[in-house]
Amino acid sequence: MVQTGAHIIAVGNEKGGSGKSTTALHLAVYLLHQGHRVATIDVDSRQQTLTRYVRNRRNTVETTGHQVPMPRHVHLPTAWGDSIRENQRAELDIFTKAIEGLRGEVDFIVIDTPGFDGNLARLAHGFADTLVTPVNDSMIDLDVLARVDPVSGEPIETSPYSRNVQKARAERLANTGKGIDWVLVRNRISNLGSRNASQVQNTIERVAARLGCRVADGIAERVIFRSLFPVGMTVFDPLNADLLGGAPSMSHVNARQEYRSLVAALQLPVSATVSGPMRLSA
């Protein structure tokens, strides 16, 4: 296992569409605006959402002439040879080289993983100092973490994904003496308070206690996230209509506050990161 000076944040959940790529870019851009050097790694070969997000960001900078901070971005492809063992070896090799190449260059490495199990996703979890798992705000999505008794709401059995994370944690502890700080975050929370919302909150806290992880305050459901992707922007970028591809709104400001709370909850190893002033020209 590579020792790295940079703090590695993996964003993972085997459930597709839970908000991993959106969260990964938001964390990276927040840290950039705080003055940190940040790299992003995309190991989702199939969708490459984070890679496209960063590319869209670069295009917006070129077409509008406005400057926004950019992460150093790396896309790690899946190996497609005939031998599984050879593929795994090749993937470990490119992963290790990428981390080694970045570790002295940046303060944070944010890794986006695919919504399915695979060797690169497992490697990303194994390298993580912090693992952020966005969970869509529904009981169905909680099922990817643990099977829950429908009557008592008590977690009965951990899911394959949670078992993989626990295995990665145990291996990392044995190899490096460091665990993985695992933080769950509810995403796309309905603005209308509902019975489902309180049931999800209640259950996620029980699941977190069972898995030995923490729960951060969540991110609300907001249509602005749809329009941020095509221009490669986040709610932390200047609230400028040219950059956003449309007029800024209170939704941007509120989402910014929620993501700030998420970063604070992560307790990243830089005090300025959680309490310092945002350098945003809003």
Ligand X SMILES: Nc1ncnc2c1ncn2[C@@H]1O[C@H](COP(=O)(O)OP(=O)(O)OP(=O)(O)O)[C@@H](O)[C@H]1O
What are the residues binding ligand X (CB under 6 A)? Answer: 16-22, 44, 47, 49, 114-115, 187-188, 219, 221-222, 225-226, 229
Q: Which is nearer to Mg ion, 21 or 159 (CB)?
A: 21
Q: Is 29 helix (H, G, I), strand (E, B) or coil?
A: helix
Detail the DSSP E strand segments found in 128-180. 130-136, 146-148, 155-158
Q: Which is nearer to Mg ion, 28 or 239 (CB)?
A: 28
Q: Which is nearer to Mg ion, 17 or 248 (CB)?
A: 17
Stretch that binds Mg ion, among 46-54, 223-231, 240-248, 270-278 (CB under 5 A): 46-54
Q: Which is nearer to ligand X, 128 or 219 (CB)?
A: 219
The Cα 137–Cα 39 span in angstroms is: 29
Q: Is 215 helix (H, G, I), strand (E, B) or coil?
A: strand
Q: Of these partners, ligand X, Mg ion, none, which one is at the site of residue 238 (CB under 5 to 8 Å by kind)?
A: none
Stretch that binds Mg ion, among 21-29, 141-149, 182-190, 270-278 (CB under 5 A): 21-29
Place of tokens 């927040």: 30
CB of 54 to ligand X, least distance (A): 13
The residue of the chain with the least Cβ separation from ligand X equals 115
CB of 235 to Mg ion, least distance (A): 18
CB of 247 to Mg ion, least distance (A): 27
7 CB contacts (<8 Å, ≥6 apart)?
107, 108, 109, 129, 130, 268, 269, 270
127 is written with which tokens?
């390298």
Residue 130 sits in the site that holds Mg ion (CB under 5 A): no
Residue 21 sits in the site that holds Mg ion (CB under 5 A): yes
Stretch that binds Mg ion, among 49-57, 123-131, 184-192, 254-262 (CB under 5 A): 49-57
* Contact residue for Mg ion among 18, 40, 49, 130 (CB under 5 A): 49
Judge residue 94's burial from the number of C-beta atoms within 10 Å of its C-beta, 0-12 exposed, 13-18 middle, 19 or more buried. middle
Residue 40 sits in the site that holds Mg ion (CB under 5 A): no
172 is written with which tokens?
């990392």
Residue type, 257: Q
CB of 278 to Mg ion, least distance (A): 26
CB atoms within 10 A of CB 143: 15
Residues that bind Mg ion (rule: CB under 5 A) add up to a total of: 3
Q: Which is nearer to ligand X, 143 or 221 (CB)?
A: 221
Q: What does each C-alpha distance from 212 to 51, 135, 169 come to in angstroms?
A: 32, 16, 11
46 CB contacts (<8 Å, ≥6 apart)?
78, 114
DSSP 8-state secondary structure symbol assigned to residue 189: B
The contact set with Mg ion (CB under 5 A) reads 20-21, 49
